Structure 1
Amino acid sequence: MSDANVTAAASPARIDADLREQWDALIDWLRSLDDEMLSAPTPLPEWTVGDLVAHLALVMRVLAGAEIVDDDAPTITFADYLAAYADTSSDIRKRAIDLAERHDPIGSAETSGNAALVTLGTLRTQRARTVRVTRGIVALDTLVLTRLVELVVHADDLARSAKIPSPVDPTARTIVSDALLRVLHSRTGYELEVADETAWLRLATGRTSWGERGAALRSGNLAEGLPDLSSALPLIG
């Protein structure tokens, strides 16, 4: 599946703006956390709130460190970028815990986020289309969308952990929901619609199982019921 199909629902300028808006909302929310909240568990097994905040710092460091490469270089697709998390999940957690133990996770997140947004602005000014990051070579639009996925999904994780109103930006959630639905369509061929964006995002990212899906999705064909999609999920390991 072409990444142009994934990002078609929103322009690069819209996705960039929502990344900034989601980041601002998340940072404002993080500033309300105290040490006790940072030690609280999250929906992710063995992850504390502090670990997850440190992970967000690392998420934004990826964008902060992006470097322009030749546009002709083969790139990692959006779907493959997300699917690859499964193979590196233990390393991702280890690096987040190490950062949380050595530094203030909220301060680290602020620093990384600011650097990432500056880098994004510079790359757009330079009309960059393709960049190199730790995982390989990726289209800049795709990289920004993967960062938005991370922020939206983990903002929901954090809200469920600290029991504070959600820091998820509604427009950002819609963009991410649509992008992940397009990936599911490419895997299965089924025409589907999102009935509940939050429930869908939790299903797509393995926070809930197919049996726990609730009203996440509905068939795009009123004459057909919702097929069993358990073998195609989650989209993110």
Structure 2
Amino acid sequence: MPPVKKRTRSYDSAKIRAAVLAQFGNVREAVAGLTAEQLALPTALGGWTVRELAAHLTLAVESVSRTIELSAQPSDQHPAQRPDQQPDRQPAPAPAPVLPLLDWPFATAGLAEDISRDVKVVAASASPDELFERTAERIAALLPETPDDRLLTTRLGVMRLGDFLVTRTVELTVHTDDLNRAVAGLDVPYDRQALAACTRLLADALAVKAPGASTEVRIPPYAVVQCVEGPRHTRGTPPNVVETDPLTWIRLATGRTTWREALDAAHVSASGERADLGELLPLMG
């Protein structure tokens, strides 16, 4: 995991919560209109069908509900004791460290096998409509009453709810793109706030992986970051500039496309001797 930390940008809680629910709703509506043949189509994700990808999207949001419920349970329960028994006064265990938001993209490596196993089980357990309905009901019941600072135990460690919700915008946005590419003409819309948060988190992750200020990466209209060691730019036009659109950036950052493919398709412009990001990408798989 990269050792250099950058200051984490702040995210508007109300906007992030609304974005997660809105993008989940966009996907739910689109999947509800798919035929059995379309649900059986392959995707680019390790042998998953569209049906299994849809199940994964419900799991990505269901993880919020599940971890909220688990965090609400008492963490230190003892069996009943007789009055003449003295309680076992063992020192309380040290609290688990909280995973910073900017560490999350790099911590996801190695989860693919476990996630794929869960997806296969869930996809076979119920129809997509049932999975989306159940997930929507649970998140609507639990999320409004849970504060952003609630600590949740996720697959990757303890995270603040507010930070975990930002990661859900990445899951939902990235896999919305996967769905759109798997089903011709589907065109699931992107919630603007979800797309923005996803773009910004992955851009900030690049600045963590390659700290510095010699290269400016522009992803209008959502993000600009400086990265890569070298002479620091102070004014005027930066000598090293990379510019791309949000979806191309997300595909680059998550390994859906390569640096060379994006350059050849003119989806990325890069100028300057330190503007080649090929060795730094992808950031997460």
Q: TM-score, structure 1 length as denominator? A: 0.86
Report the AA paired with residue 92 of structure 1: I
Equivalent position of 2:194 in the other structure: 172
1:5 aligns to 2:53 (yes or no): no
Number of residue-to-residue matches in the alignment:
229
Q: With CA pairs under 8 Å and 6+ residues apart, which has the higher RCO, 1 or 2?
A: 1
- Aligned-CA RMSD value: 2.4
Identity of aligned residues (%): 29
| Equivalent in the alignment of 2:172 | 151
Q: Is the 8 A contact 1:192 1:217 kept in 2?
A: no
Which of the two has higher C-alpha Rg?
2
Q: Choose the corresponding residue for 2:136, options 106, 113, 117.
A: 113
Which 5+ residue runs of structure 1 have no aligned equivalent? Answer: none
- Structure number with the higher helix fraction is 1
SS at match of 1:86: coil
Q: Letter of the aligned partner of 1:191 in structure 2?
A: E
> CA deviation digits over 1:72-116, x for unaligned, max 9?
752112343232332010121121012112221332133123312
Answering whether residue 90 of structure 2 is matched by residue 89 of structure 1, we say no
Q: Contact between 2:105 and 2:205, CA under 8 Å: does it hold in 1?
A: no
Paired residues of 2:102 and 2:204 also in contact (CA < 8 A)? no
Aligned to 1:201: 250
1:128 alignment partner in structure 2: 149
Corresponding position of 2:236: none
The answer to whether the 8 Å contact 2:254/2:282 transfers is: yes
Distance 2:198 2:248 in 1: 13
After superposition, what is the alpha-carbon deviation per residue over 1:119-164, rounded to whole angstroms, capped at 9, x for unaligned? 221213xx63422233320021210011111001101110111121
Q: Which runs of 5+ in 2 are unaligned?
A: 76-94, 220-243
Quick check: 2:22–2:191 contact (8 Å CA) kept in 1?
Answer: yes
TM-score (norm 2): 0.72
Counterpart check, 1:77 vs 2:77: no
Report the residue type matching 1:61 in the other structure.
Answer: E
- Once residues 5 and 182 of structure 2 are traced to their aligned partners in structure 1, the CA distance between those partners, rounded to angstroms, is 35
Does the aligned pair in 2 maintain the 1:200–1:213 contact within 8 Å?
no
